[in-house]
């Protein structure tokens, strides 16, 4: 069953006092089953965005403790900042990540809102999917009048809080709690100090647009060019620049790179140049990869390169290092969530992998090594495709080679995953064999566990065979159509793939002796023989074509 994980991204109205920020982050980290991913203070906004993830109950407990700590440490009557805000803890959004529906997340948000209101005496409004009425879905509408107008707002029966007291708490203000989809806070830097110009550009692009006066004096709404984007302009005294501050609420509608390009175009039309951008909080890996590939395609370069290289292109193209260093391991949500304590074979250096393989431990063995050989074979095909895509006399076919490179990258990455999966499968067999076998029930449990583990130990190398076989199409194409100077590399890749398939099949066979389901086993073995036989013929054909192309014998 998929693990239930939600993300919480509370915004606190303090971005200057690092001691206060540290204490708030500390109570979040104190909760078990919660991982603090990012703390992003902004001095001019006087606001800190914190990102943490974990199991729903634990995340809600951490969020409550953080709101409580903020109510003790932050005095809104003394707060000044350029970002719209309504309270010490301005907003607490919950975002479903995995294993949980939006409907369930809404219930968690409302329960959290109730607890904040009842136990802390803070007026709480629910927004987005957790809103109880349509007019409260939009966070900007709830924030209208901001903290300074909150006292009067609370006197209006239409703005009675969803939870908590309907009177003005001068120290804490109010808090907004909700459930929403993933949102990216993305700011674009301008070479101007003019907030007027920044706001004009923001109104050009934001979905809401601007209000204009018609010929007859009537007020007309003119929408902006970007859907699912909220934006305002402001001045950052710390850096001496104006920014377009955007919230992108649906990345499938407006990706980050499209927002950046549109702001760049609208800014240029007003005589302003974009110098870079800033990401507040975290961003999904997919979003940056899409951006990197977009800019690679604009340069007519292959997109079948490593994720690391694609991310570098995205960071450079978006200018994400313009005012502060962008660290992928901290700002990309998947990377930040990784448990760096877990060692994987695929993360070892070549030398260390060799040394671990040659040790007295039974793992990694032939299965993992075969998968790695296959990954290298596919990588050779990917390399030839990338070299061909960037070769001047083949540039009219760069898109074709780019597609081949993407396919090769997909295959090599999957084979690399199977390196670790094969070792894990063998370890499962060893663990099953160590189960007690004294009583009748113990014997049955142990035999069932061994049989299941052996089947998995067969299916992993069998998956290696099938995945590696896919690389032959790429390697054959590179021998026939790729850069002539790299034909030998593609041929070597084909030989590596054949070695991978033969080695993986040996592992299928050696784990088959204890399988009781002979019908299932016969089907796997027959399919394995077919793949091995075809691999031999195809690799011979690729090698023959390569030798002919090189003019040697």
Question: pLDDT tens for residues 186-225?
Answer: 999 999 999 999 999 999 999 999 988 888 888 899 999 9
Q: What are phi and psi of 270, to 5 degrees?
A: -105, 15
Looking at the structure, tell me whether residues 167 and 24 fall in a common domain. yes
153-179 pLDDT, tens digit per residue, is 999 999 999 999 999 999 999 999 999
Task: Inform me whether the pLDDT recorded for 442 exceeds 80.
Answer: no
Residues 488-501 have a mean pLDDT of 97
- pLDDT value of residue 373: 97
Q: Are residues 497 and 359 in the same domain?
A: yes
Alpha helical stretches, state H, 121-219: 139-143, 150-153, 195-205
Q: Which of 179, 214, 230 is the last residue of a domain?
A: 179
Q: For residues 317 and 357, state if they share a domain.
A: no
Tell me the pLDDT tens digit for each residue of 336-354. 877 554 568 888 888 998 9
CATH number of the domain enclosing 168: 3.30.990.10
Question: In this structure, what CATH number is given to the domain that contains residue 408?
Answer: 1.20.120.680
Please tell me which residue, 378 or 238, carries the higher pLDDT value.
378
In total, the chain counts a number of residues equal to 553
In this structure, what are the phi and psi dihedrals at residue 50, rounded to the nearest 5 degrees?
A: -115, 140
Which residue, among 132, 66, 124, 59, has the nearest Cα to 96 in the 3D structure?
Answer: 59
- 3-state DSSP assignment of residue 377: helix
Regarding whether 56 and 69 lie in a shared domain, the answer is yes
SS3 256: helix
| Domain-ending residue, one of 318, 337, 356 | 337
User: Residue 272 burial by CB count (10 A; 0-12/13-18/19+): exposed, middle or buried?
Assistant: buried
3-state helix, strand, coil in the chain (%, to 5): 55, 15, 30
**Can you give the pLDDT at residue 111?**
97
Phi, psi of 177 (to 5 degrees): -120, 140
Both 443 and 371 in one domain: the answer is yes
Given this model, what pLDDT does residue 492 score?
Answer: 97
What percent of the chain is predicted at pLDDT more than 90?
74
The pLDDT of 36-48, averaged and rounded, is 90
Sign of the four-CA dihedral 311, 250, 65, 90: positive
pLDDT for 514: 80
Our count of domains for the chain comes to: 3
What the block records as the tokens of 345 is 């074979």
Query: Both 402 and 428 in a single domain?
Result: yes
Angstrom distances, CA of residue 525 to CA of 321, 408, 470, 533: 54, 27, 19, 12
* Residue-wise pLDDT tens digits, 89-111: 999 999 998 789 999 999 999 99
* The pair of three-digit structure tokens given for residue 135, joined into one six-digit string: 């007019």
Domain that residue 496 falls in: 345-550
Q: What is the pLDDT of residue 339?
A: 58
Which of these ranges, 42-56, 199-213, 334-348, 521-535, has the smallest mean pLDDT? 334-348
Residues 158 and 190 in one domain: no
The pLDDT of residue 59 is above 60: yes
- Does 194 lie in the same domain as 132? no
Checking if the pLDDT of 541 tops 80, the result is yes
CATH number for the domain that contains residue 249: 3.30.70.670
Instruction: Tell me: do 260 and 307 sit in the same domain.
Output: yes
- 3 state SS of 169: coil
Regarding whether 481 and 349 lie in a shared domain, the answer is yes
Q: Which of residues 159, 179, 199 is at a domain's end?
A: 179
Distance in angstroms (rounded) separating the CA atoms of residues 227 and 194: 25
Q: Which residues are catalytic?
A: 83, 422
CB–CB of 373/422 below 8 Å?
no
**Does one domain contain both 432 and 486?**
yes
Q: pLDDT category, 250, cuts 50, 70, 90?
A: confident
d(CA 387, CA 308): 18
DSSP state of 283: B
**For 305-317, how does the pLDDT look when each residue is reduced to its tens digit (9 = 90+)?**
999 999 999 999 9
**Contacts with 388 (C-beta within 8 Å, 6 or more apart), sequence order:** 394, 397, 401, 478, 481, 482, 483, 486
Please indicate, yes or no, whether residues 143 and 273 belong to a single structural domain of this protein. Answer: no
Cα–Cα distance for residue pair 227/69, rounded to 1 Å: 37
pLDDT of residue 411 exceeding 60, the answer is yes
200: which 2 tokens?
A: 């004009």
């Amino acid at each position: 069953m998929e693990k239930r994980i939600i993300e919480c991204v509370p915004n606190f109205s303090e971005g200057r006092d690092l001691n206060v920020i540290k204490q708030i982050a500390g109570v979040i980290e104190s909760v078990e089953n919660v991982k603090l991913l990012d703390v992003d203070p902004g001095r001019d906004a006087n606001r800190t965005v914190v990102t943490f993830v974990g199991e729903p109950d634990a995340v809600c407990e951490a969020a409550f403790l953080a709101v409580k700590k903020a109510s003790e440490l932050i005095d809104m009557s003394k707060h000044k900042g350029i970002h719209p805000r309504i309270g010490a803890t301005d907003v607490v959004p919950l975002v479903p990540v995995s294993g949980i529906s939006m409907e369930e997340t809404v219930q968690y948000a409302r329960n959290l809102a109730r607890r904040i209101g009842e136990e802390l005496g803070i007026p709480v409004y629910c927004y987005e999917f957790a809103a109880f009425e349509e007019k409260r879905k939009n966070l900007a509408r709830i924030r209208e009048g901001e903290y300074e107008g909150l006292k009067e707002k609370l006197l209006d029966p239409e703005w009675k809080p969803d939870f908590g007291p309907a009177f003005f708490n001068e120290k804490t203000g109010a808090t907004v709690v909700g459930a929403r989809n993933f949102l990216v806070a993305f700011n674009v830097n301008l070479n101007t100090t003019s907030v007027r110009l920044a706001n004009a550009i923001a109104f050009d692009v934001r979905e809401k647009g601007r209000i204009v006066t018609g010929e007859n004096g009537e007020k007309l709404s003119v929408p902006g060019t970007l859907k699912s984007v909220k934006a305002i302009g402001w001045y950052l005294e710390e850096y001496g620049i104006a920014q377009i501050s955007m919230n992108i609420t649906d990345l499938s509608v407006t990706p980050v790179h499209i927002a950046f390009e549109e702001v760049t175009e609208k800014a240029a039309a007003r005589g302003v140049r974009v110098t870079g951008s800033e990401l507040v909080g975290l961003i999904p890996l997919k979003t940056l990869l899409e951006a990197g590939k977009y800019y690679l395609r604009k340069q007519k370069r292959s997109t079948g390169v490593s994720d690391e290289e694609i991310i570098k292109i995205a960071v450079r193209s978006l200018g994400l290092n313009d005012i502060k260093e962008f660290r992928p391991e901290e700002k990309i949500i998947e990377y930040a969530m990784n448990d760096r304590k877990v060692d994987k074979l695929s993360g070892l250096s070549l030398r260390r992998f060799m040394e671990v393989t040659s040790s007295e431990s039974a793992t990694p063995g032939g299965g993992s090594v075969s998968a790695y050989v296959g990954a290298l074979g596919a990588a050779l095909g990917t390399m030839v495709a990338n070299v061909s895509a960037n070769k001047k006399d083949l540039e009219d076919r760069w898109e074709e080679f780019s597609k081949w490179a993407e396919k090769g990258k997909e295959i090599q990455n999957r084979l690399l995953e199977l390196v670790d999966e094969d070792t894990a499968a063998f370890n499962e067999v060893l663990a099953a064999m160590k189960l007690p076998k004294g009583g009748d029930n113990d014997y049955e449990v142990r035999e069932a566990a061994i049989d299941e583990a052996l089947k998995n130990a067969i299916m992993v190398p069998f998956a290696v065979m099938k995945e590696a076989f896919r690389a032959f199409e790429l390697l054959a194409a590179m021998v026939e159509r790729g850069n002539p100077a790299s034909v030998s590399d593609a041929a070597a890749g084909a030989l590596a793939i054949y070695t991978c398939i033969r080695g993986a099949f040996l592992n299928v066979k050696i784990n088959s002796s204890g399988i009781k389901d002979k019908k299932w086993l016969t089907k796997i073995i027959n399919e394995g023989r077919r793949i091995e036989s075809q691999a031999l013929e195809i690799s011979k054909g690729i090698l023959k074509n390569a030798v002919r192309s090189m003019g040697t014998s």
